Amino acid sequence: MEKLASAFQKFDEYNKTDKHVFEWEGKNYPQEYFLAIQLYNWVLKLEPEASQALLLASRCQHIGRWEIARESYPDGRVGYLTWRKELGLFHALKAKEILLDVGFDLEEIAKVERIVLKQKIKTDPEVQTMENALCLVFLQFQYEEFHTKHDAEKVINILKKSLLKMDTHGHQFALSLPYSEKGLSYIQEALKLLA
């Protein structure tokens, strides 16, 4: 437990250096710090008996995300996917450095890396829990602002992709969140496309 707490502290300290601000309920937070805490909270809601590796991964899933800007890659899907892949490798490397420093062994670190890199999604329950939690963080904290900035077709398409990554357990939580009337209508449209 001492190593776990120490790792959390180091992950949080790193993410608190994010200059991007996330405003929630009238308060400002370093963006990746705030989102990491919410991801951790969602993992615990989805899986109260979460393993140590899953808890660690939840707190470092996007560690230092601001250090590799989307703008440094070409526009379009190929550029986006390349950015996402390299971000994942960067997060896994940063997590490994911190976990080694704290004193975790390579076997436990490999488990964390597997989750951070989202390997074997749909077949690994821990990776699936992480994917559910990531989608739920987006839906709870970012979706309402996001859908007002984009056309309906783009929003519904992104929701469809997000909902496809989730399982029925994740969908139950997604449908329990409060949404605006328009926000809910987009989600319902996306769900129809999955049927």
Residue 63 has pLDDT above 90, yes or no: yes
156 pLDDT higher than 90: yes
pLDDT of residue 6: 97
In whole angstroms, what is the distance from residue 179 CA to residue 158 CA?
Answer: 16
Look up the CATH number of the domain holding residue 120. Answer: 1.10.3210
Number of domains in the chain: 1
Average pLDDT over residues 2-26: 97
Chain segment 24-43, per-residue pLDDT in tens: 999 999 999 999 999 999 99
Give pLDDT, residue 171: 92
Closest CA to 97 of 21, 171, 10: 10
Number of Cα atoms under 13 Å in the Cβ half of residue 152:
9
CA nearest neighbour of 134 among 49, 65, 67: 65
* 133 closest CA partner among 108, 148, 116: 116
pLDDT at 96: 97
pLDDT in tens, 131-149: 999 999 999 999 999 999 9
What's the pLDDT tens digit per position in 172-189? 999 999 999 999 999 999
The pair of structure tokens assigned to 167 is 């399982």
Say what the pLDDT of residue 103 is: 97
pLDDT tens by residue, 97-133: 999 999 999 999 999 999 999 998 889 999 999 999 9
Kind and range of the H or E run holding 61: none
Which range (5-9, 76-80, 119-123, 152-156) has the least confidence?
A: 119-123
Q: What is the number of H-type helices and E-type strands within the chain?
A: 10, 2
Structure letter (DSSP) for residue 28: E
Quote the domain boundaries for residue 135.
2-194
* Confidence category of residue 195, pLDDT binned at 50, 70, 90: confident
What does the pLDDT average to over 64-73? 94
Report the half-sphere exposure of 100 (CA within 13 A, side-chain side): 9
Over residues 139-162, the mean pLDDT reads 95
Tokens of 176: 């329990």
Q: Are 84 and 58 in contact (CB under 8 A)?
A: no
Question: Is the pTM here over 0.85, yes or no?
Answer: yes
